[in-house]
Structure 1
Amino acid sequence: ACLLLVAVLPLLSGCRATVAGTNAMGMPFVKDTIESKYNRSIDKVAVAARETLAFNGTITSDDSVTRVLQAQVNNRRVLVRLEELEPQVTRVLVQVITKGGGSDIDLAAEMDKQIALRLK
Structure 2
Amino acid sequence: PADIEGLEATAEHISETERRSMAAERDTTDRYLAAYLSERVGNEFSGRIAGITRFGVFVRLDETGADGLIPIRALGHEYFHFDADSQTLMGDQTGLTLSLGQRVTVRLAEAVPVTGGLVLDLLTL
Q: Scaled by the length of structure 2, what TM-score is found? A: 0.29
Which protein has the larger Cα radius of gyration, Structure 1 or Structure 2? Answer: 2
Q: Scaled by the length of structure 1, what TM-score is found? A: 0.30
